[in-house]
Chain A
Amino acid sequence: MPEVRIPGLSSLIGQAAAEKTNFGILLLMSPPGGGKTIFCRQMITDCLDTGSMCIYINSSMTRKEYENLFNNIPDAKIKNLKFLNPYLVTTGNKESDTTTSINDPKLSATFQDIRNTIEEWSSSVTNTIERTQQGSTSTLNGLPKCDIILDSLTHMFTLFEEDKVLKFVNALSFLIKEFESLALITMSGTQSSNESILNKLSSIFDIVLEIEIQEDSDKIKRKLKLISIKGASSKSSSALFNIEQEGILKFESEVSSKPKLSICGLCKAPILEEPEYYLDMPFHHNHVKIYMKLAGAFGQARVSDAGPSGVIDAAFFFVDVVGLSDPALSVRRQIEKIEALNDMISHCDTFKKASDKRVLPTGDGMAIGFMLSPESPLQLGIDLHQSLKKYNTHTKKEDGSFLDVRIGIASGTVFIVNDVNSNQNIWGPGIIFARRVMDVGDGGHILVAGALAESLLTLDDKYRRIINLLGDYQVKHGQIIKIYSAYSPNEFGNPATPVRFKS
């Protein structure tokens, strides 16, 4: 599945284009205090999450500082991060580089170290794939890559001669092309203050970004601006972002409480790319003219009326807090639990990364519709259970602080309806079905409706290990549904048969 590995890029160039930016060199400029290093850390974290390897090059940082900066990354992932300080690199045992003409022993040794790391990584990925797919490795496309983050070029100019640094960057660019990797290079300052260096390296950078700092009363606002793509100056595309606690970057579109779901005014399907608007209606880019032509031929009203509440298929995640209505539980405790659940879900990777979701709060939980990916609801269930596990290490069942949820997952049809605020929303049998499935379960259960479970089972072998058939169950109105339970002992889900099932 495609991922966006550069923070905020989807806000600048759209989700689809950002997903395609999976190799090339990006330059990020920022005045001091703009958050370059935090940006680098976010990108490294995101890249490691996708299974990629990262090389972090910083000529001003000691190993201890590096370890402090990345102490939030679990051991299982940090092994895929390599730190290099060109100034501190030892050159004694390194073979002299004869291919790049960098002409500086430290930079040359650093480059050789980068090359060796990328080669070893590519080779190990290829071997792994060969072992699992028995030799069908015709291409490395879509496989985990080795990304490079150089933070910062400005500091390297203070330690090394300029032409040698430029040769180093040039050699790096060939390496990036050879291995189809992604590199982020940072520089202090702005487009105008770096004009001379930018001119010298203009052909190397695929995308140039700049962080702008705005002071708004006592609060600092940061804005990520797109300066150019492939040398062509960009329109004024920018995205505001905050650096939140623990140094996590939050872009404005992600901060907003309700992500906008755009449904094409012609075909009524979700729009993944940036929508095009006509008469305030969103459209797929290639559907605007067709809509206008049909409106001209049939009349505006007739085309607009072609399904005012468009019908779409989606996969749903339904969750509620178990025992929330227990009269023994104080209202304060109830609110704590609801807020904790909302907070955990909003921080789950699956939730954050899905651009196609719709959230309907239900009071003691929520329903989330995923318009495009049938895998997202189950993945969200797994993510949530992992967060709950951590959360509940500080809670007790006895004092009512223990947070237990049940989850129902199903797919089905829903209608797009306009709510009282004129926002497009969804409602229909698909959501109701997920609710019915959830109602069958007890605390800890992740129950999946038959049709969706069976399509997941055919989709990927990994689901065979975690999705288990419970059997048929009669829900409201005599409807009989097949139910599966998703679990992996001690990790997520509840292996016990639901009480209602036994009865």
Chain B
Amino acid sequence: MTKCIALHSYKGGTGKSTISSNLSASLAKKGLTAVLLDVDVYAPSLQDYFQWQPKKSINDYLFENANIDEVIHDLSPVLDKFSSNDGEQSESSKGKLLVAFSSTSKDEIYKLDGAVRQEGSKIQLLRKFLMLREEIVSKYNADFVIIDTSPGIRYWSINSLAIADTILLSLKLDGIDLKGTRLLAREIYDSLTKLGTKSYLLLNRAAGYCLPPNLAGEQTSATQEMFNNTVDNQSAVISKLNADIGMDTILSIPCYCDIQFDSNEFLTALRYPNHPFAGKIDELIGKLKTI
């Protein structure tokens, strides 16, 4: 049975695209069929992650200018590029990575935005969006459909959440994100979870990965104390958030400076399978399989 998972957040820059790309690619590497949908229609970025220029996009499908086969791109060969002798090669040869991109064309983004403001075309687009999920489930025998959504409370992000079985709410632990997450939980997620959708917090860029100053040779009592306080405070904030909004944390991904500041490295989990980030993605896969 296909599991449909949407990655959502209150604001942008929380790592939805990075996590969804690496998650989808890693699922495929483990021999599963993963379909990744870029529904971040206002700021699509998956084309950069996969270095792929699609001829047809989800926008074409929604406007009936393309059929499902034309917008689902088989990027399984990407897996071969990163295959190694880590024992997963034989599994990855069975897996499939299928990706549907949103158009990056300014005109297409305006067109889609304009169409959802007109009731007549809005319902046609919604019907096609529902068909997109149904066709993927029926035609591609997908184990997982991963949806990279637009952040915030927007038309396409809410539609994405409505068709998902599980929502991962990605957030950093700054004040704005925490406030926005509470808002999302109250305004949106509450009604979805009552109807059976499962939702979890996915903490990204959490403190605790960087080497503490004492190990880096710059030990002072003040910096050590600050580091310890940050980690301790974070744990308290997470516990309170879990209790306040009734959502468990599925995973906490530390802030990896080496990923964050790499200008063109996107599929870290494939390129560096021994990096702790890859381990975190594996941990996420393990948990998603049991949901």
Contacts and interface: CB of A to CB of B under 8 A. Distances in A.
A491 interface: no
Interface in B151-196: 153, 158-159, 161-163, 187-188, 190-192, 194-196
Query: Could you say which interface size class chain B belongs to?
Result: 20 to 34
B185 to A, nearest CB: 12
Given A294-B159, A296-B192, A296-B194, A287 B124 contact: no
A499 interface: no
Contact of A307 (B123, B130, B196): B123
Given A293-B197, A297-B191, A306-B122, A267 B130 contact: yes
Nearest to B189: A297
B195 A293 contact: yes
B248 interface: no
Interface in A290-318: 290, 292-298, 305-307, 310-311
Interface in B119-162: 119-120, 122-124, 126-127, 130, 134, 153, 158-159, 161-162
Nearest to A264: B127
Contact of A294 (B153, B158, B196): B158
Interface string A251-272: 0000000000000001111000
B229 to A, nearest CB: 38
Nearest to B127: A267
B127 A269 contact: yes
A293 B134 CA distance: 17
Contacts of B161: 293, 297
Contact of A296 (B126, B153, B195): B195
B191 A311 contact: no
Which of A286, A295, A307 gathers the greatest number of chain B CB atoms within 10 Å? A307
A367 B170 CA distance: 54
B192 A293 contact: yes
B76 to A, nearest CB: 28
Interface in B208-255: none
Contact of B119 (A269, A294, A305): A305
Contacts of A77: none
A289 interface: yes
B159 to A, nearest CB: 7
Nearest to B131: A267
Nearest to A267: B127
Contacts of A293: 161-162, 191-192, 195, 197
A266 B188 contact: no
A100 B213 CA distance: 87
B119 A306 contact: yes
Contacts of B162: 290, 293-294, 297
Nearest to B116: A306
A413 to B, nearest CB: 10
B195 A311 contact: no
A180 B174 CA distance: 65
A311 B120 contact: yes
B123 A287 contact: no
A289 B196 contact: yes
Contacts of A287: 130
A267 B131 CA distance: 9
B119 A307 contact: yes
Which of A290, A292, A296, A305 gathers the greatest number of chain B CB atoms within 10 Å? A296
Contacts of A296: 190-192, 194-195
A297 B188 contact: yes
Contact of B124 (A266, A286, A294, A311): A311
Contact of A286 (B134, B158, B190): B134
Interface of A: 266-269, 286-287, 289-290, 292-298, 305-307, 310-311
14 contacts: A266-B130, A268-B123, A268-B127, A292-B195, A293-B161, A294-B158, A294-B162, A296-B190, A298-B158, A305-B119, A306-B119, A307-B120, A307-B122, A311-B124
Given A293-B197, A294-B158, A296-B195, 6 more contacts: A269-B127, A292-B191, A293-B162, A293-B192, A293-B195, A297-B187
